[in-house]
Structures are given as C-alpha cells and as structure tokens.
A and B are shown apart, each in its own frame.
Chain A
Amino acid sequence: MLNPKAKIRLSILVGAILFSAISIFLIFKTLEDNIIYFYSPSEIKQINDIDTNKSIRVGGMVKDGSIQTKKDEIKFIVTDFKNEIIVTFSGTVPALFAEGKGVVAEGKLQDKEFFLAKRILAKHDENYMPPEINKNLEQNAK
C-alpha cells in the first residue's frame, strides 16, 4: 500500500507528534502543580479549605506601626484596608520594605490569620507597585 520510504516518513511523523504531545502534557502537568497563586488578605478570608503545604503569595500594604523585629524573625501586618494578615519572616528584607509601602510575600499559610513567608519580593523602584496590589487596593478603596 505504502512504499517503504513513505512508511518510514509516516512513522517518524507519528513518533514526533506523540513525543511532542507527551512533552507538552508533562510541561502543563508540572506547571499546574507549581503555580503560585496571588491573594490579598481579603481573598484569604474567603478561602474555605486552606492548604498549608502550598506556596502562595500575599500582597498588600505593610500596616503602619506593625513591624516588630525579634531575635529570629520579623513580624508585620499586611493589609488591604479591609482585612489583614500577620506575616512572619526570617531573613533579610529587600530594600524599600517599609511601613506604609506595598509588599509581596511568598510562603505558606498557617491559618487564615498567620502567614509564614519564605521570601519577600524585591522591588527596584520606589514608585513601582506590583500590578496585582494596585488593582486590589483600588477595588477596596471604593
């Protein structure tokens, strides 16, 4: 039916498609498992089942007067002016981390009130505000 050459070509084509399909599937599967979702403190209050093993990001403003530095951690409150969450973090904070400024922390929820941060994201520009914070803050200001 098919000559040998065409047969080889067909098998290479099928092989290539199969291989690509598997690799794309693999990429997306791993992607799904490793996505870090971004939440505002208000959104955290609305989560029903909290997964304490999954990394997430929490963003908002550092509440004025809330930063406490202790021996092995820093504690501060992230607020979106409606709700707030207590964040603990050990390590050096990036420059531009200050009370009344925007912040994004990455880490895991302990419960709806406490967040254990592994990393505080750096910003390069004092006027820069992560887009997701901006949006959430604008909504909450209304």
Chain B
Amino acid sequence: MLSNFGITFLSITFLTSFLLIYLSFNELKTANNKIPKKIYNFSSLQLIFTILSFLTLLAGFVVSDFSMSNVFENSHSTKPLLYKISGTWGSHEGSLLLWINILVLFSFLFLFYSNNNNKKFQLYTIIFQNFLIGTFLIFLLFNSNPFSLLFPVPNEGLGLNPILQDPALAIHPPLLYIGFVGSSIYFSAALAALISKVETKLFARVIKPWVSLSWFFQTLGILVGSVWAYYELGWGGFWFWDPVENSSLMPWLLMTALFHSVLVLERRLGLYSWVIILSILTFTMSVVGTFLVRSGILNSVHTFANDPSRGLFILTFLILMVFSSIFIFFKYSTTEKNTFKFLSKEFFILINNWFMVFFLLVVLIGTMYPIFLDTLFGTKISVGPPYYNFVLAPFLIPLLFLMTSGPKFNWISSESKKIFDLVFFISLFIFLAILFIVKEKNLIVNLTLIFSIYLTIQSLNDFYKAFKNKSINLSRVISHFGFGLLIFFISINHILSIEKNFNLKVGDEKNLSKFLIKFENIESYKIDNYQTIIGDFQILNKKNLIKKNLKPEIRIYDQPKTMTYEASIDSNFFSDTYLTMSNVSDSELFNIKLQIKPFMNFIWLSVFILSLGGVLNIFKRIKKV
C-alpha cells in the first residue's frame, strides 16, 4: 500500500522536474522579465510531492510496514520510536531520498526567496537544479528504491545497527546533508551565471546567503558527528582522520574558501572565475564524498555494508557533471580585469583561499592515495593521523596569524599596519602563564598556543569595537573567535589528556600514579531491545580525594545480534573522565580504558560559536535585500 503511494509521489516529483525544465526553457525565449506563475506553482507542487514521498517512507518505518524491503532491512517493531523515525534516513536508500528532498527544497527556496530581478539567471539555475533532481530520482527509482516490495511479507524486521541508535546520530545525517546538498544550489547558480552572463555583483549577492547557510549546517553536522564518535566509538577521540570524516571535511574547506572569496567578488568584483570554480568544486566534492562513503571503496572504521553498483552510478554521474561543468566554464567564461593590491583585504582573503585549498589537497591526497595504490599496484596501505598532524600543524600557525592580522587591513588600499600590537603582548603573557602550568616542550604546539590565544584576544577586542563602531563585520569576529578557541582547546586537550589501559576482575583495584580505580560490582538487566551489563567503578583522584562513580556498559542487542560498548563519561565542565569496559570470550577479566580528557565541552562550544558566525551572515543579507 504505502509502497505504491511512495512510488507514485516520486514519479510525480520526477514529472514536475521534467516539466520545470521544459517550461523554463520555453520561458527563456519570451521577452518579458517576469517569471510566470505556473513555474512557481510547479515548484511548490514538486516540493509537496517529494515531502509526501518522504513522509510515506517515514510512515512505513513508524508503523513497521515490513512489506517494504527497506523497512524490513533497517527496522524492527520493538525499536524505540525515535530510532524508527531516524531509521528512515539510516539506510542508503532513505538517505538518498532525503538527499533528493533537500535538492528540491533548495530549488524551491531559491525560486521564491532569491528575488534578483534577473529572469534568465533565475531560470537557468532552476533548470540546472532540476537536472540534478531528475538524475538522482532516476538513480533512486532504478537502483536504490526505498519503496521496493518484499514477498512474502516478513513478520519482523532485521533491525537498525545499534551503533546508529543514538540521538546524536539521528540528527547527524540531516544536518550534514543540508550542508552537502545545499551546495547544489550555488553549483546550479554558478553554471547559470556563466550562461546568462549575469552581473558579477548580483551573482555574489545571490549566492552568499546560500553559501553561509550550507556552511552553517555542514559545521553543525560535523560537530554532531564528532560528538557521536567521541562517546559512542569508545576511543575517547573526536576526530580520527578517517576517510568518511575527511569526505565531510573536504566540502567544508571549500565552502570556507568560497564565502571568503564571495566577499571579494561582492566588494571588489574580483575573483569571478575563481568563485565560479569554487562553487562548482564544492558540490563536486560533496558528490565525491557520497561516492566514497557509499561505494564501499573505502576501508574505513565507519564502513557499512555497501553495493558497488551504486558507486558506479555516482562515479558516472560525477564524471558527466565535471565534464559538462568544465565545458560550460570554458565556453562561457569571460576574461576579467583584476587590480590586486598587495597587503589589502582582498590579498589576505586570497591567502586564506590558498590555505583552504592546501588543506583540501592534504586531506584529498591522504584519502585517495590508498585507493590509487590499491587499484594500480594492489598494495594495501592506510594513512594514519600522524600524516595529517605533520603536514597540517605547521601551517595552522601562519593561518592563525593571518586570521588575526588580515581583517585589520582595508579594501583596495595597500598601507602597512602595526602587526605586533599591545594585544599580541597580552596574548604572549597569557601564554607564558599557561606554559608555566602545562610545561609543554614541543615548539609547534607552543607556537600554535600563542597564535590561537592571539586570535582569540584580538577577536574579543574587535567584538568590543564592533559595538562602538558598526563597520566591523560581526559574523567574521564571532567565527574567528570560535576558531581561535577551538585550536586553543584542542592543543590544551592534546597536551593534558591521559590514557591508561588495564584489565580487572570484579572486586579488583588498580593503582595508578594519580588515580585509584576500584571495580566494585557488575549487574545485568534487560532493557527495551537489548541486554545490558553494567560495571560499577569507583575512581579516586589521589590529589584532591574526589571520588567518582562511573558505570560503563556492554550492550547486547537482539536485532540484529550485535554488541556495543557504551563509555561512561563524567563531565565536570572542565574535564571529562572517560571509562570504557569490554570483555572477550567471557573471561573473568574485563578490559578497562581510563581516559582523562580536559576541556572537551569547550571544544564543542568553540565549534558551535564558529558556526554562529555563519548564521549571522545569512540574516545580515536578508535585512539588506
């Protein structure tokens, strides 16, 4: 039943995107400068039907309609409601349906809320966006149909992978997808701008809020993913330089480069071709990310079962997309005059772009190199975190410095400014005070600390100035402040983290230099859809004699039969005490990992502050337009 509805809704969505392309092409020939009502109507219709198809799948999950193979494979009737709902986008098919929903939503929002009085540009954007929608719909219907039926109808589903049954992971994919797929709209707009030869300033104005919007969601999506990895994977880390994580970071880096260079385009009309290239690359990178994650080509800690035929489709689509973009770019791009002054604001923004592209290359090479070696020579390798740390860390220092100094310079003019001002010496003083406590010897870590403090204090100073003088860009100040804090807390966390591994029996004690750990008891219960084994530990801090009780868990799920280890985290705002327990082949001894992770909450908070700058950027634009 539901399956038929879903397929009908999807077919109507496909039909409307076909109609929208057809109508828009026809409209391009007419002379008047007004988009006819029917295009708006069809766009609304398209949005309604695509949302209906999504709700249909959602309903299938909620009522556990196991006649749909997607529901059967990813749900179970005893699963809590929240995870039935999040199961909708937990699978490949469902997430692709969500992907299409966002494509359509952005097409609709762009048509309705981006009044730019340039009909040709507007229509071409809708045409390109609907090409994307149509292609992905074909992929969905013929390769990954979430509504395909199962006969005979099973009585019970297979269940959702328990590691995905988590509130953070329930919202992680939608956030990340709004970021990923949101970049499609400026991909379409960039191609449209080339063909319709739209005025550069208008193009910059039009895409800016969309870039900020997708950047904001991408940042939040990455944040939620990291938080999840931190408490669910049980290693106490929050970023592993894993290929799947990298594929969400790569579009983020490009988005960051893009909304910096859009500023130059808006103010100085420079970098037009570069902004177009970045817009195209960002969405391309998002599709590459999807390809890497979904094709099963990656050997990643996050790997789920995959199907190579999906990879083939995405790869073909990717190649077509890239080649047609290159073709359009060279056919329509015009030469531009750039008058760039050394040591002007635009100069520093260009340097920012260099850093972002460099970071992108580092991450891209680190992610792709193992794949190339494997396909070409059959050599199996993996690239670990040391590579990223060695290459990226030294470049973080000049980046932090330039993030502090760059915004002091004005547009166009090429005057020199005082770099090492009072703020710098205050920062140096704070650093020395911190160094006295942490006693870190590594030069790069210390320099990173100095310059992250400098950026943070300088941003605070700018924040204060922003209230007196309206000309200061508040969203920049907030984001730079967040970034300074983030690097500062990551460095401090890196210096002060402690990790201890040992095995204990119930009743045993472990005496460490700073802590005394007592394994007091073990209990077992049956909860909802899993059996849990809870360990009761007492951790005594020998220095301040504070006792903490931590209860890490081992969960055994029935459907599918899986085990997960739940870390127990005691967070006292400044520092997390992180305990995980595992057990192998019913041994009496349990494996215990104790970690002390300072300032984790501050790391999350910094990323949140960083993302807030993006929100401000969206609203600022709406107010002015």
Asked whether A73 lies within 8 Å of B303 as measured between CB atoms, the reply is no
Look across to chain A and name the residue whose beta carbon is closest to the beta carbon of B562: A126
Known contacts A30-B390, A91-B501, A98-B584, A128 near B305 by CB under 8 Å: yes
A residues 14-30 touching B (CB-CB < 8 Å): 19, 23-24, 26-28, 30
> Which of A34-42, A45-53, A108-116 lies on the face that meets chain B?
A34-42
A56 to B: closest C-beta gap in Å: 9
Give the secondary structure class of A's interface. Answer: loop
- Partner of A130 from B163, B299, B501 at Cβ < 8 Å: B299
Residues on the B chain within 8 Å of A23, using CB: 358, 361
Asked whether A71 lies within 8 Å of B589 as measured between CB atoms, the reply is yes
B586 to A: closest C-beta gap in Å: 10
- Partner of A70 from B503, B562, B564, B580 at Cβ < 8 Å: B503
Asked whether B381 lies within 8 Å of A38 as measured between CB atoms, the reply is yes
Asked whether B304 lies within 8 Å of A98 as measured between CB atoms, the reply is no
Known contacts A30-B391, A37-B379, A92 near B303 by CB under 8 Å: no
Asked whether B584 lies within 8 Å of A74 as measured between CB atoms, the reply is yes
Interface residue B621 (Cβ < 8 Å from any Cβ of A):
no
Which of A98, A99, A132 has the most chain B CB atoms inside 10 A of its CB? A132
Look across to chain B and name the residue whose beta carbon is closest to the beta carbon of A90: B501
Asked whether A90 lies within 8 Å of B303 as measured between CB atoms, the reply is no
Asked whether B591 lies within 8 Å of A92 as measured between CB atoms, the reply is yes
Asked whether B301 lies within 8 Å of A92 as measured between CB atoms, the reply is no
Interface residue A131 (Cβ < 8 Å from any Cβ of B):
yes
B165 to A: closest C-beta gap in Å: 12
Look across to chain B and name the residue whose beta carbon is closest to the beta carbon of A12: B340
A residues 118-142 touching B (CB-CB < 8 Å): 119, 121-128, 130-132
Docked CA distance A73–B20 (Å): 64
Asked whether B365 lies within 8 Å of A31 as measured between CB atoms, the reply is yes
- The proximity string for A residues 57-72 relative to B, scoring 1 for CB distances below 8 Å and 0 otherwise, is 1000000000101111
Docked CA distance A67–B560 (Å): 25
Known contacts A27-B365, A37-B381, A124-B163, A92 near B390 by CB under 8 Å: no
Interface residue A83 (Cβ < 8 Å from any Cβ of B):
no
Interface residue A13 (Cβ < 8 Å from any Cβ of B):
no
Number of interface residues of A (CB under 8 A): 46
Asked whether B380 lies within 8 Å of A132 as measured between CB atoms, the reply is yes
Residues on the A chain within 8 Å of B560, using CB: 126
Asked whether B580 lies within 8 Å of A92 as measured between CB atoms, the reply is yes
Residues on the B chain within 8 Å of A38, using CB: 380-382
- The proximity string for B residues 545-564 relative to A, scoring 1 for CB distances below 8 Å and 0 otherwise, is 00000000000000011111
Known contacts A30-B390, A30-B391, A31-B366, A69 near B304 by CB under 8 Å: no
- The proximity string for B residues 138-166 relative to A, scoring 1 for CB distances below 8 Å and 0 otherwise, is 00000000000000000000000101000
Docked CA distance A43–B533 (Å): 39
A12 to B: closest C-beta gap in Å: 9
B residues 557-605 touching A (CB-CB < 8 Å): 560-565, 580-582, 584-585, 587-589, 591-593
Which of B161, B163, B381, B581 has the most chain A CB atoms inside 10 A of its CB? B381
Residues on the A chain within 8 Å of B503, using CB: 69-74, 90
Docked CA distance A92–B365 (Å): 31
- Partner of B304 from A33, A72, A96, A124 at Cβ < 8 Å: A124
B residues 385-412 touching A (CB-CB < 8 Å): 386-387, 390-391
Docked CA distance A35–B373 (Å): 11
- The proximity string for B residues 479-523 relative to A, scoring 1 for CB distances below 8 Å and 0 otherwise, is 000000000000000000000011100000000000000000000
Docked CA distance A70–B390 (Å): 36
Residues on the A chain within 8 Å of B301, using CB: 121-124
Asked whether B382 lies within 8 Å of A125 as measured between CB atoms, the reply is no
Known contacts A27-B365, A130-B299, A91 near B593 by CB under 8 Å: yes
Interface residue B7 (Cβ < 8 Å from any Cβ of A):
no
Interface residue B383 (Cβ < 8 Å from any Cβ of A):
yes
B80 to A: closest C-beta gap in Å: 20
B556 to A: closest C-beta gap in Å: 9
Look across to chain B and name the residue whose beta carbon is closest to the beta carbon of A26: B391
Residues on the B chain within 8 Å of A96, using CB: 562-563
Asked whether B387 lies within 8 Å of A125 as measured between CB atoms, the reply is no
Interface residue B465 (Cβ < 8 Å from any Cβ of A):
no
Asked whether B501 lies within 8 Å of A57 as measured between CB atoms, the reply is no
Given contacts A69-B585, A97-B582, 7 further A-B contacts (CB under 8 A): A23-B361, A24-B361, A27-B362, A27-B365, A33-B387, A35-B387, A123-B303
User: What are 20 sample pairs from A and B whose C-beta atoms fall under 8 A apart?
Assistant: A30-B387, A31-B365, A33-B387, A34-B386, A35-B383, A37-B381, A69-B584, A70-B589, A71-B503, A90-B591, A91-B591, A92-B582, A96-B562, A97-B582, A119-B235, A121-B301, A124-B302, A124-B304, A126-B560, A126-B561
